[in-house]
Amino acid sequence: MINFDKEVDKCVEILKNGGIILYPTDTIYGIGCDSYNFKAMENVNKLKGSNPSKPLIHLMNSLKMVEIYLKQIPDIAKKSLTGANPTTVIFNNLNNNQLNHKSIAIRIPKNKFCLSIIDKLNRPLTSTSANLSGSPYPKSKADINKKIIHGVDYFVETIDNDNLRPSKIIRIIDEKNYTVIRD
């Protein structure tokens, strides 16, 4: 049986020390690191074989946290971030360059485990799908590539959930318009 609090504490310790975790989210399994640790983000991209110019998702715990990084949040984005369906929202109007991106992809997870990590870390959790670049995302724990499992500093073992799906992704164009990147 998994001890929730111990798992959260272990993940936060690893993240604060520049490590990478493999963990369950409210969508699919993710690879995560501290959003303020650029070396850790480089290591995530190396592990996946991803292009470093491709932005990673920043999981945040609330609209209040999102407001730290954005000049303004259009109503459509607020509804998407806090709605029932997991949605990643891409913004171009950064208010804070601590995350060092021209645009930023943000999601507020609905999963208590992810939210607890973000709360304890006290900043966003950078995340990406737990697959090698160009490979299908894992639909279950059994689908995660061994290179990913062996390349992280900590793997959060959990009850498996089959038929996992990635989040919807939208890009905000202006106050009232957006484009669907992935549905």
Task: Please list, residue by residue across 72-101, b when 16 or more beta carbons sit within 10 angstroms of its beta carbon and e when fewer do.
Answer: ebbebbeebbeeeebbbbbbeebeeeebeb
**Spatial contact of 23 and 113, defined as CB atoms under 8 Å apart:** yes
**Spatial contact of 60 and 73, defined as CB atoms under 8 Å apart:** no
Which class would CATH give 4-182?
Answer: alpha beta
C-alpha to C-alpha distances, 43 to 26, 49, 79, 142, 152, nearest whole angstrom: 23, 10, 33, 23, 9
pLDDT band at 126 (very low <50, low <70, confident <90, very high): very high
Sequence letter at residue 58: H
Would you put residue 28 in left (φ > 0), alpha (ψ -120 to 50) or beta?
beta
- State residue 15's pLDDT score: 99
- Give the distance between the most distant pair of CA atoms in the chain: 47
β-pair type (57-59, 104-107): parallel
Where along the chain do its domains lie? Answer: 4-182
Tokens standing for residue 74: 């259009």
pLDDT reading at 36 higher than 60: yes
Give the bridge partners for 155, in sequence order.
22
- State residue 159's pLDDT score: 55
pLDDT in tens, 9-18: 999 999 999 9
Give the containing element (helix H, strand E) for 180: strand 178-182
pLDDT reading at 139 higher than 90: no
Query: What is d(CA 27, CA 49) in angstroms, rounded to the nearest whole number?
Result: 22
Q: Tell me the average pLDDT of the chain.
A: 89
pLDDT band at 161 (very low <50, low <70, confident <90, very high): low
What mean pLDDT do residues 81-108 have? 80
Residue written as token pair 């609905």: 110
pLDDT reading at 27 higher than 60: yes
**Spatial contact of 123 and 36, defined as CB atoms under 8 Å apart:** yes
Segment among 106-115, 142-151, 158-167 with least mean pLDDT: 158-167
- State residue 164's pLDDT score: 74
